[in-house]
Amino acid sequence: MKQIRYGIIGAGHFGAEMARMIHERTSSALSAVYSVNGVGAARVREELGCETEDTLEGLLAREDVDAVLVASPNVFHPEQAIAAARAKKHIFCEKPLAFTYKDAQNIIREAEKNGVTLMTGFTMRFYDGFAKMKRMIADGCIGEPLAAFASRVGWDEPKPASGWKKDQGISGGHLFHHIHEIDLLLWMAGPVDGVYAAGGNLIHTGPGMGTQDDLILLNFHFAGGAYGSMESSSLHQIPQHCVKINGTKGGLEADMRTSQLTLWRNGQPVEAYPMFDDPESQAYNISYNQKGPAHGSPVNRPPLTFRTTMPKELCVFEKKLLGEPVEPIYEDLFAGASGASATAVVEAALRSVRSQKLEPVEK
């Protein structure tokens, strides 16, 4: 089988883990890593013995790079993905694809024009429980979605910000960290026409504390007629992390804290499944999520559940590159489709926080 040769852009928490994963796989090879200050990249070079590049241009000019993984801070994704497309490199772009629908469309157009594959990194779709939930909904198990809900809330100690993740200008806002849950809602309940959202930065304020919102509450109007809501917060004393879809014939509830997917009918739980098929990941997920949802740190390795999930999403990316069939539920991860839709919902939500009106979602 042809090996896919990768270049990695950004070598922190996520990029370094992707580098390890590519290094370990026989189907892929790690050609070089680039990070803007070289610090993360040098650490990856020492650990894995790969090459590093000092500039993005250097990385993109390499003949031994077939595809790039964009794992830099959020604000840089559009310019770097577009540069990669122009250099004829396939692109796996970490979420979010962009902060605006327009920027997402620019990436999509450039990828199309240059004939390269573009995939958005919505890792949570590859958790066994969420994939099962999607397949059950697609098979008609709960009928037509009527009411959808997602929550990713927990307590983040107000403390001086130590990196870009608390800087609204670079992260785009907390909702872009939690765009996974928006993607899951769109994936399971269909496109959203309009969003009303409220929130702001209520307690994570003061010198050095960062500028990100710490609470956003959203209400959705789905195009298919369903309604939905979501809460995203780092000020909740009572943590919660779940996705629930109620349909005409039943309901599905994925709860990350209990690590269980439950099928409900007529107000009663009737079947339950683990969120992870692999017992080690399942046990880890339960203990990890008891603390509340993670907010990510540049210094630590991602949780085990990510480490066991990331190879599955990379496998789908590589299948596409090799012209092999991809499970239909994952097709919209390509050509920027789901990346752009989720971005459009966040963009409309942030607009709604300011306008205090229901805002249309661009399509």
Ligand X SMILES: NC(=O)c1ccc[n+]([C@@H]2O[C@H](COP(=O)([O-])OP(=O)(O)OC[C@H]3O[C@@H](n4cnc5c(N)ncnc54)[C@H](O)[C@@H]3O)[C@@H](O)[C@H]2O)c1
Among 158, 191, 194, 296, binds ligand X (CB under 6 A): 296
35 is a contact residue toward ligand X (CB under 6 A): yes
Using CB under 6 A as the binding rule, the residues of this chain from 159 to 198 that contact ligand X are: 163-164
- Binding to ligand X, residues 107-146 (CB under 6 A): 121, 123
Site for ligand X in 63-102 (CB under 6 A): 71-74, 76, 94-95
Q: How far is the CB of 139 from ligand X (least distance, A)?
A: 26
- Residue number, 84 or 148, with CB nearest to ligand X: 84
Min dist. Cβ of residue 173 to ligand X (A)? 12
Q: Which residue in the set 6, 8, 15, 82 belongs to the binding site for ligand X (CB under 6 A)?
A: 15
- Residue 239 CB, nearest approach to ligand X (Å): 18
Give whichever of 71 and 218 is closer to ligand X, judged by the CB atom.
Answer: 71
Stretch that binds ligand X, among 5-13, 47-55, 279-287, 337-345 (CB under 6 A): 5-13
Q: Which is nearer to ligand X, 347 or 359 (CB)?
A: 347
Q: Which residue is closest to ligand X by CB? A: 12
State the nearest-atom distance from the C-beta of 346 to ligand X, in Å.
12
Which 3-state string (H, E, C) describes the chain?
A: CCCEEEEEECCCHHHHHHHHHHHHCCCEEEEEEECCCCHHHHHHHHHHCCEECCCHHHHHHCCCCCEEEECCCHHHHHHHHHHHHHCCCEEEEECCCCCCHHHHHHHHHHHHHCCCCEEEECHHHHCHHHHHHHHHHHCCCCCCEEEEEEEEEEECCCCCCCCHHHCHHHHCCHHHHCHHHHHHHHHHHCCEEEEEEEEECCCCCCCCCCCCCCEEEEEEEECCCCEEEEEEECEEEEEEEEEEEEECCCEEEEECCCCEEEEEECCEEEEEEECCCCHHHHHHHHHHHCCCCCCCCCCCCCCHHHHHHHHHHHHHHHHHHCCCCCCHHHHHHECCHHHHHHHHHHHHHHHHHHHCCCEECCC
Residue of 36, 147, 286, 315 that binds ligand X (CB under 6 A): 36
Question: Which residues of this protein are in contact with ligand X, per CB under 6 A?
Answer: 9-15, 35-37, 39-40, 71-74, 76, 94-95, 121, 123, 163-164, 296, 298
